[in-house]
Amino acid sequence: MQNVSLRPITVEDATSVQLYASDARLAATCNVPYPYPSNGGQVFVERCIHARESRQRFPHAILLDGQFVGVIGLNLPDFTNLTAEVDYWLAVPFWGQGIMTQAVGLVAGVAFKELGFCRLFSGCWSKNPASCRVLEKNGFTEISSIVNDGHFGQKFAGETIRRFTLSYDEWQRHMTTA
Ligand SMILES: CC(C)(COP(=O)(O)OP(=O)(O)OC[C@H]1O[C@@H](n2cnc3c(N)ncnc32)[C@H](O)[C@@H]1OP(=O)(O)O)[C@@H](O)C(=O)NCCC(=O)NCCS
């Protein structure tokens, strides 16, 4: 197991976000823009801090041995139905080490135990099987496969998105069997 932890995004993360989010390989499978704007890191962290303060989103920095390596968010919170959407990206040098699998497990704990959500949703492009696998390894179940008509962003319009969900009960069962 890697030494992975989460914490809220801070202004100090702007330089790392700028560095890692500028990589075209990252933009190929997630909604990070490419080319990445020269002030993108600064704008991103400021928006994250505001979003957390106003409870519009709960973005976290992913840390490996205390160093920033990526972002994972609990987005689109629905405080009536107690649901949220999990989105994430990991800096390219850290792919394939089990880090996002751990980060998704940690953010599920935050969602269910700290924030009181009852169900999480997430989705990944069918051309991104590693991301789907990360969800499956955390107990998520696939619920649908949808052609993106633009609802999930114009960048990947026309591509297929696989939708997954995880309830609090499913998460607890997964934790006891994992
Ligand atoms: C996709 C991403 C989140 C994966 O993170 P990661 O830390 O490298 O993932 P992990 O190492 O925890 O697990 C990856 C799993 O996918 C598997 N995998 C990798 N490539 C695969 C492929 N082409 N087909 C099937 N499975 C694959 C790995 O073997 C591993 O599963 P295993 O442990 O059962 O062997 C990361 O590459 C990333 O952030 N990419 C760019 C942004 C992005 O795609 N974000 C998600 C948007 S939906």
- 81-120 pLDDT, tens digit per residue, is 999 999 999 999 999 999 999 999 999 999 999 999 999 9
Q: What is the CA radius of gyration of the chain?
A: 15
pLDDT band at 178 (very low <50, low <70, confident <90, very high): confident
Distance in angstroms (rounded) separating the CA atoms of residues 134 and 77: 21
| pLDDT > 80? residue 63 | yes
Reported as a single tens digit per residue, the pLDDT across 111-146 is 999 999 999 999 999 999 999 999 999 999 999 999
- Answer whether 130 contacts ligand 1 (Cβ < 6 A): yes
Atom of ligand 1 nearest to the CA of 90: 39
pLDDT at site 136? 98
pLDDT band at 22 (very low <50, low <70, confident <90, very high): very high
Alpha helices in the chain (DSSP H): 14-21, 24-27, 40-53, 99-109, 129-137, 168-177
- Answer whether 45 contacts ligand 1 (Cβ < 6 A): no
Domain coordinates in residue numbering, the chain: 4-177
pLDDT band at 153 (very low <50, low <70, confident <90, very high): confident
- Answer whether 96 contacts ligand 1 (Cβ < 6 A): yes
Which residues are within 8 A (CB) of 138 and not within 5 positions of it... i.e. 6 or more apart? 101, 104, 105, 108, 166, 171, 174
* Per-residue buried b or exposed e for 2-12, using 16+ beta carbons within 10 Å of the residue's own CB: eebebeebeee
| pLDDT > 80? residue 75 | yes
List the CATH code of the domain at 4-177. 3.40.630.30
- Pairing, β 119-125 against β 83-90: parallel
pLDDT at site 152? 86
CA of 155 to the centre of ligand 1 (A): 20
| pLDDT > 90? residue 7 | yes
